[in-house]
Chain A
Amino acid sequence: MATTTTYTEKELIALLKQRDEKAFSYLYDNYSGALYSIIIQILENTELASDVLQEVFINIWRKIDTYDAAKGRLYTWMLNISRNASIDQLRSKNYQNSQKNQSIPENVDVFGGSSMMSVDSIGLKKMLEKLKMEQRVLIELAYFKGYTHEEIAEMEDIPLGTVKTRIRNALIQLRTLLQ
């Protein structure tokens, strides 16, 4: 952990593409906490989150060649890998079973605060509290549950265009909260 070396984003990416383990160590030591945080916010289960984090870092190592700096920063790429992996886990039988085993009602009220792990006080979720309820629901469903706009339109019984606009507005609002 006591890595004294620091890299510029360019250097780090170049080294990662060469499968440099020192660079990868640096990556883990600097970003695993941030990624673990988002995974936990989605899964609300530390055990599964650990498994997913492991999977995520192995995928980063394997897929680093597909990373395209023109499309965004390395962290954004890693964050999206983490979110996608978490949502895949969320929809897996494994996750459904683990939720049942913990005797949690199947349709957890995502806003009722009855999550297995209190994650409301961390990261983006903390910011969500400051959003209007309507916006909060949309972000929760779209970002943390991974539903598509179409699915949300159906679930909430609102037009697709409205879903898109509301989500965009919620995100603009979220951005101001982050600043």
Chain B
Amino acid sequence: MKGVRWSLWVLAAFAALVGLFALQLSRPKNDTVQSAMIGQAVPPFALDAAVPERPGLATADLADGTPHLLNVFASWCVPCAAEAPQLAALERQGAPIVAVAVRDRPEDLEVFFQRYGNPFSRVGKDDLSRVQFLIGSAGVPETFVVDGKGVIRHQHIGEIRPEDVPDLLRRLEEARG
């Protein structure tokens, strides 16, 4: 009867699995990841500087009374290079932009900034994607609108295309009010 007992365990595990699947299926599926952190304060973190010429980034820097764009990027990411002109345009139009560099090396970042320009006033170094996950970002590039109290107002997933620039400026303006 030994065979019977372990097969009951398998059966129980299978039942648990089916239960898990059923539970997940019965919940309304929400693929819009951004909703999770919208309206929430940025969790506390402090990142070291990723490059010598810019300071690092901490939660306090975001809650300084002015709204910011927070760009999550990496030098190894091609869409991040593609959105560089749009970030530069945003900076020219007065948007304060800070950044989190995910799993990157200072020397690669230097090359990246030389090539595409550096529109960021602060660049934090997130070697373990810890902050990236804290703020609810699933990949690079992503751009957050954070208001003056440090609350996330909007999340833009993927590269910023030229047509997205006015929208981001508008949301930044809204975060001011």
**Are these two chains actual partners, yes or no?**
no
